[in-house]
Amino acid sequence: MSPHDTGHGAVASTTAPPLAVGLVGAGRMGAFHARTLAQRLPGVRLAAVADPTPGTARALADDLGCPTALTDIDRLLADPGIDAVVIASPARTHADLVVAAARAGTPVYCEKPMALTLADADRAIGAAREAGVQLQVGFNRRFDAGFRAARDRIDAGAVGTPQILRSLTRDPRLADPARIPPWTIFLETLIHDFDTLRFLNPGAEPVEVSAMADALVRPDFRDRGLLDTAVVTIRFDNGALATAEASFQAVYGYDVRGEVFGSGGMVTMGDARRTHLTSYGPDGIRADCVTYDQDLFHDAYVAELRDFTDSVRAGRAAAVGGADARAALAVALAAVRSVTTARPVRLDELEGP
Amino acid sequence: MSPHDTGHGAVASTTAPPLAVGLVGAGRMGAFHARTLAQRLPGVRLAAVADPTPGTARALADDLGCPTALTDIDRLLADPGIDAVVIASPARTHADLVVAAARAGTPVYCEKPMALTLADADRAIGAAREAGVQLQVGFNRRFDAGFRAARDRIDAGAVGTPQILRSLTRDPRLADPARIPPWTIFLETLIHDFDTLRFLNPGAEPVEVSAMADALVRPDFRDRGLLDTAVVTIRFDNGALATAEASFQAVYGYDVRGEVFGSGGMVTMGDARRTHLTSYGPDGIRADCVTYDQDLFHDAYVAELRDFTDSVRAGRAAAVGGADARAALAVALAAVRSVTTARPVRLDELEGP
Amino acid sequence: MSPHDTGHGAVASTTAPPLAVGLVGAGRMGAFHARTLAQRLPGVRLAAVADPTPGTARALADDLGCPTALTDIDRLLADPGIDAVVIASPARTHADLVVAAARAGTPVYCEKPMALTLADADRAIGAAREAGVQLQVGFNRRFDAGFRAARDRIDAGAVGTPQILRSLTRDPRLADPARIPPWTIFLETLIHDFDTLRFLNPGAEPVEVSAMADALVRPDFRDRGLLDTAVVTIRFDNGALATAEASFQAVYGYDVRGEVFGSGGMVTMGDARRTHLTSYGPDGIRADCVTYDQDLFHDAYVAELRDFTDSVRAGRAAAVGGADARAALAVALAAVRSVTTARPVRLDELEGP
Amino acid sequence: MSPHDTGHGAVASTTAPPLAVGLVGAGRMGAFHARTLAQRLPGVRLAAVADPTPGTARALADDLGCPTALTDIDRLLADPGIDAVVIASPARTHADLVVAAARAGTPVYCEKPMALTLADADRAIGAAREAGVQLQVGFNRRFDAGFRAARDRIDAGAVGTPQILRSLTRDPRLADPARIPPWTIFLETLIHDFDTLRFLNPGAEPVEVSAMADALVRPDFRDRGLLDTAVVTIRFDNGALATAEASFQAVYGYDVRGEVFGSGGMVTMGDARRTHLTSYGPDGIRADCVTYDQDLFHDAYVAELRDFTDSVRAGRAAAVGGADARAALAVALAAVRSVTTARPVRLDELEGP
């Protein structure tokens, strides 16, 4: 199937009214999702935008012809005309918003991380389950054509049993370190990689985590606890050993890659090239890099919201849900503990008595 | 700029009514364009579909929630509610339809080839000019991110003066040779490459064409005049030598590539890989190929219609117009004559007194 | 088998005296071959170097510990202690030297082109046949691991019947155009590609040639007849259409590539990267290019002399011989005639009555 | 400079007698080195082969025309006609042989690992220093063109300060696990990667090591202590975080790669493709993998012995010596301790009081 099949397959009945989706959080990622909801998904409309920062929701809504802009998020969640909600606000607000949406009976897509503690994750999961609403979390790489194809090959047995895995994320630029909470590299960046590693090692679960991290991009922020470079090793219950690594600043662009090595072969994912253009000159061979996540994962970002809205319309479970969010969070929290205690941490240490 | 920026930049005023576009021809390419008009372009709506084959327009229109389906193309062209028309009918009908649309005062996007004779091309160009309407032709590769980036590099001087160029098209599968007119490989397939070569050799024009062609995929159709394999050499007025080649059947997929070698360097375009997944196994290294033009050029197909509808709304000239269509057609006709006469043909031979 | 198996397989008996090889022509290519004979081939020794330019042979011989340096080539050819001779002198001298060596009963390796006329080629072939000595010609690409693997895949049927082929040569730098004979691009450069195309289309022979050429690198030498850029189209007797192209100046390096497209698939050869190093920086992705033929084809140059000396010791026929040299020359001469007559030229036109 | 410049630069005086080198250990790697000494290095000759297994030295010597074959290694070391010795015997014998050679006043090249304990490493280093002879260790990747070019780019500042590094080794096939000592993956395989990481992080030294390892290829040998899969994380004193990983069985071939990410960019090394041939067919795109280390590193293996013999003739220090061997060994021993203690291990823990 085409990696680009916008609108194929998941066709809304053309007579049914479009699914009305509300967006919470009109920042960078929120704005992208807003445009997707407003313009890229047939059978879906952006019904409302809410953001507490004055004017932010209004500007985005106006740009996209969305009728409703709010500074009060609760009003959006209480709106009975909203069929589903997309949460793209700061991470610390996620769990409560998921709970609130679920209690309002509204299916909810939540950007990663869904929660910052296991207790909060459990609360969010419980609320969605009780309400019987879909809960999807923004692990967009699962919807990328290359990562998806890798999983398909793994499911088909082409790799055999995974033995060594790797996932990495390198963001292009660390803009303002003062605004980044200390453990962000694990809780917000590497959480993608922790999910990817689970996705690419199907059926296996992490059991032990060992992490090293440092402030190498901005050593002047080390004292404030900011970690901008990290390498994490994970042992899975099928024996596989995995590494996840992240940096907040790759001067060449946005770099996301994956690799699964197993008893039957290997698959690799990730290509930093912006296009299929290659240039040859006196200085050698050259190609441009991808700079932004919204370029590299454009189609994946659209596909995850399509899948979410499809699941809402079809009344089926979300493809990547609260349990996945919790599992990735547990690895992130274990990595935090490994850094603070300077030793490997077993996942079961994190679970209460 | 992102290669994916659906809706960026060319933002329709959100208060203006959407541009009503009619589609003529509900075949394979027509269906893709229909979906683009209906779902992928903010500020644009698919207002009507016309196709003389009974039921075809209706099925497509219903699928996309388009209100009007017609078997009478003239009725679509006469509809005053249509702001612009997209022509995706068989090639032999193009020129007349462009003329009719232009006389109706309707901006027109026409799939390639815009005409099959220079006289028809001139008629179409003349009609659009007299009517003062946009006329755009479907050379989608100009809107592909990689080919576009190549042109940008060339414009920036990175290649110096082009000296040797190459463009090739290999379609994945020759389905029904009995339905293909004899000179299709030049008039409908290689015409893309002829345009690409002009696009990548900015400001230069072809002066001489030499072609060899044969029925190698289906030798049993050679007697009916079907040519399925061709190699064309073109000399440009800046001295550059170019080759264009085509095959109707590449068992590995859809293969489109370009190369410009010049005094200052080289650029290459084209990558048959479907995704960024690479597999390694006992049989070596493997990757999947792109199979369909609508995968490889998905974004380019959308981008060209976006540019067309933007130009209509903005009242500006089309980015790739009738003169480009005519120039590529002239090369195709010279290639036909080169094959029939077994000698090089100068472009100026084609221009009658 | 390893592409690097220096000394594997073709092992000289360690008790037999080494094969004494004489080198004629101590220029750039001669010097490389001299070092190969002196140092890279077990069971072989460089016994003498002859070059009419005073001091040239002596310097090379001294550098390599070779006992004999001559300005009189005839003396080398007459030396009964020489078991085989390698000819790396200017092209115009090749045929006569082959004839002379053959008449002396000495097996001969001759750099391409073996002759500049078909009559001379026939003379050389006849002399070797009469003398019963090996005659090998320097089509080194046949000994390159990648081109060899391509041929193996073709022989294994992976490409099916070849339909469209391409071979190209781009030299890194046009140093002194005043010293280059007019038709060099066909007779000395593209002759490699003509042989490669025959090598990659096994069992087929060229039947028709159409060429375009120009002085684009040094237009100031156009009046002297120097052509530095050429594109040649060749029709083979199995229907396959091939292009060969050459430029005397690729600012990015030495670029040699091949491509065979057929009914069953495609193979591509050629990679301008110098090593497996890739660099990523603010300006994108970068790799270094190969600059010299003696880097790109180092192993192939050694392998062809190993194969030649092995054939001499084993008393078997050379792997690539006079008939191959003649066939490639015929294409080159047809290309010359195509340029001078501005029309396609059939190969059989070249053969006398 | 060419990556292939056999014999360039380091030219022996052609009148001086060749350097007589003795080989200890006629196994797989020893046989390769023997051929290099006998045939690939001008100015060098293989003077003697010693191997305690009856007949082994004799067979190899005969194959290469080497006059002397011994089962008594001491006799080789005592031979005053030997100018230098190459040690390719089992790892456990290395340190003693280095000491013996050094005491005999003979320059010594020793395969990795030079020793299995820090005390033995110190003994070997001390003996060479006291004797004033060259001591070189077989970290061949330092002589590979791609890894060398990476280091050059790093030295030139293209990567800025290294922040995240990676080196991996995957052997193609685990033949007989019963013959492999338990910690081999660290002491014999990953020791290459530990050296590579030091080589690619110039001036920095490892300070802390954390390792995970398991028997995933042959779980049936886990009880005997065989570890066949390992991932190691290393913190350097410049803050850089590195991973090294190894597997004893990659079904697709021999896979060695490196990556250095830093404040100024990234370099990657390693390409598993056997040649520059790419095949396209109904099953997609395909290329063959390298299978053997002696293919992938053929030129590097030759280059390291060339450099060693050059250093002996020139009386200069070896390019990669005992201190490098010791530093990589320390990381390997720390990894062993990390596995046995299940915690990170600081390098300084290994140094006695």
Three-state secondary structure string covering chain D: CCCCCCCCCCCCCCCCCCEEEEEECCCHHHHHHHHHHHHHCCCEEEEEEECCCCCHHHHHHHHHCCCEEECCHHHHHHCCCCCEEEECCCHHHHHHHHHHHHHCCCCEEECCCCCCCHHHHHHHHHHHHHHCCCEEECCHHHHCHHHHHHHHHHHCCCCCCEEEEEEEEECCCCCCHHHCCCCHHHHHHHHHHHHHHHHCCCCCCEEEEEEEEECCCCHHHHHHCCCCEEEEEEEECCCCEEEEEEECCCCCCCEEEEEEEECCEEEEECCCECCCCEEEECCEEEECECCCHHHHCHHHHHHHHHHHHHHHHHCCCCCCCHHHHHHHHHHHHHHHHHHHHCCCEEHHHHCCC
- Closest CA relative to residue B112, chosen from B76, B83, B74, B140: B140
| Cβ contact D284–B287 (<8 Å) | yes
Run of H or E including A86: strand A84-87
Q: Do D256 and D192 sit in the same domain of this protein? A: yes
* CATH code (residue A315): 3.40.50.720
Mean pLDDT, residues A16-34 taken together:
96
Say whether residue C4 is in contact with chain D using an 8 A CB cutoff.
Answer: yes
Which positions 270-309 of A are in contact with C (Cβ < 8 Å)?
272-274, 280-289
For residue C14, pLDDT over 90 is answered with no
| Cβ contact B252–D289 (<8 Å) | no
DSSP letter at C72 equals: -
Give tens-digit pLDDT for C182-211. Answer: 899 999 999 999 999 999 999 999 999 999
Binning pLDDT at 50, 70 and 90, where does residue A16 land? confident
Give tens-digit pLDDT for D7-37. Answer: 333 344 456 799 999 999 999 999 999 999 9
Q: Do D162 and D285 sit in the same domain of this protein? A: yes
Q: Do A88 and A163 sit in the same domain of this protein? A: no
* CATH code (residue C167): 3.30.360.10
Considering only CB atoms, C284 lies closest to which of A250, A282, A287, namely: A287
| Cβ contact A280–B267 (<8 Å) | yes
Mean pLDDT, residues A11-19 taken together:
67
Mean pLDDT, residues D306-319 taken together:
96
DSSP letter at A288 equals: P
What subunits make at least 3 CB pairs under 8 angstroms with D? A, B, C
Considering only CB atoms, A214 lies closest to which of D213, D241, D243, namely: D241
Which positions 11-70 of B are in contact with A (Cβ < 8 Å)?
11, 14-15, 35, 38-40, 42, 62-65
Q: Which of B224-228, C15-19, D106-110, D330-334 has the lowest mean pLDDT?
A: C15-19
In a domain, C5, yes or no: no
Which positions 209-228 of B are in contact with D (Cβ < 8 Å)?
none
For residue D2, pLDDT over 80 is answered with no
Which residues of chain B make contact with C210, given a CB cutoff of 8 A? 210, 212, 233, 344
Q: Do B130 and B158 sit in the same domain of this protein? A: no
For residue A7, pLDDT over 50 is answered with no
Specify the pLDDT at position A40.
Answer: 94
ipTM for the complex? 0.94
Give tens-digit pLDDT for D142-161. Answer: 999 999 999 999 999 999 99
CA distance B231 to chain C (A): 7
Rounded to a whole number of angstroms, the CA Rg of chain B reads: 20
For residue D1, pLDDT over 60 is answered with no
Q: Do A89 and A210 sit in the same domain of this protein? A: no
| Closest A-chain CA to C271 | A285
| Measured distance CA(B239)–CA(A352) in Å, rounded | 77
Share of chain C above pLDDT 90, in %: 92
- CA distance from start to end of chain C: 47
Mutate to test the interface with C, among B208, B261, B349 (most CBs of C within 10 A): B261
In sequence order, what are the beta bridge partners of D242? Answer: D165, D234
Give tens-digit pLDDT for D46-64. Answer: 999 999 999 999 999 999 9
For residue A9, pLDDT over 50 is answered with no
Specify the pLDDT at position D353.
Answer: 62
What subunits make at least 3 CB pairs under 8 angstroms with A? B, C, D
Q: Do C97 and C161 sit in the same domain of this protein? A: no
How far is CA D212 from its chain centroid?
Answer: 22
| Cβ contact A233–D235 (<8 Å) | no
Binning pLDDT at 50, 70 and 90, where does residue C15 land? low
Q: Do B113 and B186 sit in the same domain of this protein? A: no
Helix H, strand E, coil C: the string for chain B is CCCCCCCCCCCCCCCCCCEEEEEECCCHHHHHHHHHHHHHCCCEEEEEEECCCCCHHHHHHHHHCCCEEECCHHHHHHCCCCCEEEECCCHHHHHHHHHHHHHCCCCEEECCCCCCCHHHHHHHHHHHHHHCCCEEECCHHHHCHHHHHHHHHHHCCCCCCEEEEEEEEECCCCCCHHHCCCCHHHHHHHHHHHHHHHHCCCCCCEEEEEEEEECCCCHHHHHHCCCCEEEEEEEECCCCEEEEEEECCCCCCCEEEEEEEECCEEEEECCCECCCCEEEECCEEEECECCCHHHHCHHHHHHHHHHHHHHHHHCCCCCCCHHHHHHHHHHHHHHHHHHHHCCCEEHHHHCCC
Give tens-digit pLDDT for A177-215. Answer: 999 998 999 999 999 999 999 999 999 999 999 999 999
| Cβ contact C11–D63 (<8 Å) | yes
Number of domains chain A is built from? 2
| Measured distance CA(C91)–CA(C112) in Å, rounded | 7
Specify the pLDDT at position A353.
Answer: 62
Give tens-digit pLDDT for B283-317. Answer: 999 999 999 899 999 999 999 999 999 999 999 99
Considering only CB atoms, A252 lies closest to which of C250, C273, C284, namely: C284
| Cβ contact C285–A252 (<8 Å) | yes
In a domain, D2, yes or no: no
Residue type, A316: R
In a domain, A333, yes or no: yes
Q: What is the mean pLDDT of chain D?
A: 94
Give tens-digit pLDDT for D324-343. Answer: 999 999 999 999 999 999 99
Contact D278, D286 (CB under 8 A): yes
Q: Do B99 and B218 sit in the same domain of this protein? A: no
Measured in degrees and rounded to the nearest 5, phi and psi for residue C11 equal -85, 125
B with D: how many residue pairs have Cβ under 8 Å apart?
Answer: 49
Say whether residue C340 is in contact with chain A using an 8 A CB cutoff.
Answer: no
Q: Do B115 and B196 sit in the same domain of this protein? A: no
Say whether residue C149 is in contact with chain B using an 8 A CB cutoff.
Answer: no
Which residues of chain A make contact with D261, given a CB cutoff of 8 A? 170, 247, 250
What Cα–Cα distance (Å) separates residue B47 from each residue in B37, B66, B69? Answer: 9, 6, 9
Give tens-digit pLDDT for C264-311. Answer: 999 999 988 999 999 999 999 999 999 989 999 999 999 999 999 999
In a domain, D79, yes or no: yes
| Cβ contact C39–D6 (<8 Å) | yes
For residue C13, pLDDT over 50 is answered with no
For residue A279, pLDDT over 50 is answered with yes
In a domain, B13, yes or no: no
| Cβ contact C251–A286 (<8 Å) | no
Specify the pLDDT at position B15.
Answer: 60
Specify the pLDDT at position C163.
Answer: 98
Q: Do B147 and B260 sit in the same domain of this protein? A: yes
Considering only CB atoms, A292 lies closest to which of B2, B153, B271, namely: B2
In a domain, C64, yes or no: yes
Say whether residue C229 is in contact with chain B using an 8 A CB cutoff.
Answer: yes
| Closest D-chain CA to B273 | D285
For residue B58, pLDDT over 50 is answered with yes
Q: Which residues of chain C form beta strands (DSSP E)?
A: 19-24, 44-50, 68-70, 84-87, 108-110, 135-137, 162-170, 206-214, 229-236, 241-247, 255-262, 265-269, 278-281, 284-287, 345-346
CA dihedral B173, B174, B175, B178 (to 10 degrees): 180
| Cβ contact D216–A343 (<8 Å) | no
Measured in degrees and rounded to the nearest 5, phi and psi for residue C255 equal -125, 115
For residue D287, pLDDT over 60 is answered with yes
For residue C1, pLDDT over 50 is answered with no
Q: Do C166 and C290 sit in the same domain of this protein? A: yes
The residue range of the domain holding D278 is 141-293+328-350
What subunits make at least 3 CB pairs under 8 angstroms with B? A, C, D
Give tens-digit pLDDT for B81-112. Answer: 999 999 999 999 999 999 999 999 999 999 99
Considering only CB atoms, B288 lies closest to which of D250, D284, D287, namely: D284
In a domain, B87, yes or no: yes
Which residues of chain A make contact with D210, given a CB cutoff of 8 A? 210, 212, 233, 344
For residue A14, pLDDT over 70 is answered with no
Binning pLDDT at 50, 70 and 90, where does residue B348 land? very high
| Cβ contact B272–D285 (<8 Å) | yes
Helix (H, G, I), strand (E, B) or coil at A259: strand
For residue B232, pLDDT over 70 is answered with yes
Say whether residue D9 is in contact with chain C using an 8 A CB cutoff.
Answer: no
| Cβ contact A252–C289 (<8 Å) | no
CA distance A288 to chain D (A): 13
Mean pLDDT, residues D67-75 taken together:
97
Give tens-digit pLDDT for C24-56. Answer: 999 999 999 999 999 999 999 999 999 999 999
Cβ neighbours around D2 below 10 Å, total: 16
Binning pLDDT at 50, 70 and 90, where does residue A1 land? very low
Share of chain D above pLDDT 70, in %: 95
Specify the pLDDT at position D7.
Answer: 39
Binning pLDDT at 50, 70 and 90, where does residue A228 land? very high
**What is the residue-wise DSSP string for C303-315?**
HHHHHHHHHHHHT
In a domain, D6, yes or no: no
DSSP letter at C189 equals: I
Helix (H, G, I), strand (E, B) or coil at A247: strand
Q: Could you tell me the two tokens for A98?
A: 């998921």
Which residues of chain D make contact with A212, given a CB cutoff of 8 A? 208, 210, 233, 235, 241
In sequence order, what are the beta bridge partners of B261? Answer: B164, B266
Q: Do A72 and A192 sit in the same domain of this protein? A: no
Which residues of chain A make contact with D235, given a CB cutoff of 8 A? 212, 214
